[in-house]
Chains A and B, each alone.
Chain A
Amino acid sequence: MSASTSLLPPVALTPARARRRAWRNPVAWVPYALVLLGAVIMLVPFYFMFVFATHTNTEILSVPPPLWFGDAFLDNVRALVAERPHFWRSLGLSLWIAGAATVLNLFFCSLGGYGFSMYEFPGKNALFGGLMATMLLPAFVGMIPFVLLMKELDWLNTTRALIVPGACSAFGVFLMRQYIGSAVPRELVEAARMDGCGEFGIYWRVVVPLIGPAMGTLGLVTFIGAYNNFVGALLVMSDVDMFTAPLVLRSLQGTGQTPWGAISAGSAITVLPLLVLFVLYSRRLIEGLTAGAVKG
């Protein structure tokens, strides 16, 4: 803090020169090196997942293990399908569940967010506070009655059990309320009402076309969450024919000689849709999530 006592700050360095001088100092590299090292730690498991997916079991179990891609990917897939004939069906089920959950969430959450942001009604603040509080409830506590409820409804071993209970998330309603409140002018809603548009018509014709970005973020979050849902599937799917992809992968574990090649290939195939989505839309996802959190 010595500089704070002088009246004039040292201004001799232009920003560009200061930066160049800083780069000559090896100590200044240390934080960057650490960030890079961390990023490598984040990516290494993915790398080896794909490397192992392309090697036979013997190659994976050899010393040293393979560090570069091999050519046994199709053999691994064949081994996987031979071991678990319903793998592709399970992957399809996972995609279907995630897709259906996404569509329902987009509809119900944006509708709820519209209700909370564009109307005043008695009890609104209490209801919204209650909605936010549900995000803090530990879902695990109700696990056993949930399974019994599914049994009573005869929903065990159906995709409904994984789609319907999560069809409208509190986080989604919150995100949509924030976005609609800032992106949709109230005058537009009022004008539509004066022109004789019904309340649902306003939502469908005026609000929905304006909230594409938030729909994108929420769609990604929901799809990823539903696609990865392991605990839910573990609770309600006991029939092998209704296993989702995560359940199939887990069932491969600990079957005598663990088929690492097949597991890695299955893991790689399962993770691939998410990686594609993430590579295409990571900016949308991260910016959408941070924007939602900022306003909260």
Chain B
Amino acid sequence: MSTPFPPIRRTPTTRRRSALKPWHYMPYVFVAPFFILFLSFGLFPLLFSAYASFFRWELSSGLAGMKWEGWGNYAFVLQLDALPWKQFFTGAFWSELHGLDFWRALYNTFWLGFASGLPQHLIAIPLAYFIHMKFRRARNPAIAMYFLPYITNTVAITLVFSSLFSRDFGVINQVLTGLAHFDVAGVRPLAWLFPDQNIDWGRPEYTRPIVAFIIWWRFVGWNTVLYLSALQTIPKDLYEAATIDGAGLWQQFRYITLPMLRPMILFAVTLTIIGNLQLFEEPFILTGGSGGVGQVAETVAMQMYKVGLTDGDFGTASAVAWLMFMVIAALTWLNNRYLGKKD
């Protein structure tokens, strides 16, 4: 590779004799900070946790007390021996599986990831399309309103949500029962649709939906911005040609926008998968760190935190971490394979 900036044109002979110039080695210095920081604070902990996952290693014992454990930590986390494999096709197997910590946390993580992730994209794509096609002066304020949740402090806003969802004084219950009690001349036209009584949002069956809603709320605007940026790159004349051919807004969306958006959908969904499988903050804060009644909202990341830093069992926590890593890698690969395939 030749240097792009030869100050003076040289003949091949003089170039061979020339010494190492600053523009040969300085770029390495310029890009070094990122790699030094990543290797020490990113990659090293990542690989060390892979190593540690094969050891029995507890907070109290320190580095010297690490004992080789082989696949033992993984076996302990997965508990495959404890499962009634013979009843695989009956409910007993699955309820047993759900009783095991790791599998329950994995189920919760998938539940939350799916329930918050899918609506994010299903709403962000049409929203971005609509804003892109129809908004002129109101465009930036509209985007800003949807983007605002993304920049705010999760702790602060999750606490606000938990007060909005209170049973007796929460605004959400007030609105819902208010709509149910709304009456026109003695008739309550909305009573069938809305609850008559205050809903106890603290009950376990509501915990996951609330967490999923908060995550959806935070990230829908972020995804909208991603899709808007991709929409801007679609040539306008494609739409003009389609309009002249008589295609409506829906047909333009279906036959121009969606195919052209495909790379961005792949990218955004990948980000969502990686982010959602590491869910921590929202469920952690909303459930006060416990995972809620019956651990219904305890994610894998929360379990890893609990096992590793609260219980001090580093080996097991590292095994949980790497199982999570493998699930993320597998899903990212699958997503790439199915969304990323060329037609």
Contact = CB atoms under 8 A, between A and B. Distances in A.
Contacts of A293: 226, 229-230, 264
Interface stretch (B9-17, B46-54, B82-90): B46-54
B251 A1 contact: yes
B163 A253 contact: no
Contacts of B134: 31-32
A176 to B, nearest CB: 11
Interface residue tally on B, bucketed by range? 35 or more
Contacts of A119: 4, 23, 26-27, 30
A74 interface: no
Interface in B293-343: 301, 304-305, 308-309, 314, 317-318, 321-322, 324-325, 328, 332
B34 A193 contact: no
Interface in A258-296: 260, 263-264, 266-268, 270-271, 274-275, 278, 282-283, 285-286, 289-291, 293-294
Interface in B2-22: 2-5, 7, 22
B174 A63 contact: yes
Interface in A49-77: 49, 52, 60-65, 67
B274 interface: yes
- Which are the 6 A-B pairs with shortest beta-carbon distances? A3-B246, A115-B30, A142-B45, A290-B229, A267-B156, A165-B41
A141 B321 contact: yes
A286 B246 contact: no
Interface string A195-209: 000111001000000
B55 interface: no
Given A49-B157, A61-B169, A134-B42, A141 B324 contact: yes
B22 A199 contact: yes
A144 B228 contact: no
A144 B318 contact: yes
A9 B34 contact: no
A250 B52 CA distance: 31
What is the predominant secondary structure among interface residues of chain A facing chain B? helix
Nearest to A119: B27
A201 to B, nearest CB: 10
Nearest to A123: B28
Contacts of B225: 286, 289-290
Interface residues of A, number: 107
Contacts of A169: 34
Contacts of A228: 151-154
Contact of A193 (B23, B44, B318): B23
B44 A168 contact: no
A143 B34 CA distance: 19
A12 interface: no
What is the predominant secondary structure among interface residues of chain B facing chain A? helix
24 contacts: A1-B245, A1-B251, A32-B134, A35-B131, A39-B142, A65-B169, A116-B31, A119-B30, A136-B332, A138-B328, A141-B49, A143-B45, A228-B152, A230-B153, A235-B309, A250-B159, A267-B153, A267-B160, A271-B152, A271-B153, A274-B151, A274-B152, A289-B229, A290-B226
Given A140-B304, A165-B41, A264-B160, 11 more contacts: A112-B33, A137-B46, A141-B46, A144-B314, A168-B37, A173-B34, A190-B5, A231-B281, A264-B159, A267-B153, A286-B144
B49 A142 contact: yes
A143 B305 contact: yes
Contact of A249 (B40, B142, B152, B156): B156
A42 B24 contact: no
A65 B177 CA distance: 13
A167 B33 contact: yes
A135 B281 CA distance: 19
Contacts of A186: 4-5
Nearest to A260: B163
Nearest to B21: A199
A144 B308 contact: yes
A130 B42 CA distance: 13
A134 B36 CA distance: 13
B149 interface: yes
Contacts of B26: 115, 119, 199-200
Nearest to B218: A42
A224 interface: yes
A48 B146 contact: no
Interface centre among A111, A227, A275, by most chain B C-beta atoms within 10 angstroms, is A111
A116 B26 CA distance: 11
A154 interface: no
Contacts of A250: 155, 159, 285
A226 to B, nearest CB: 12
B164 interface: yes
Contacts of B321: 140-144
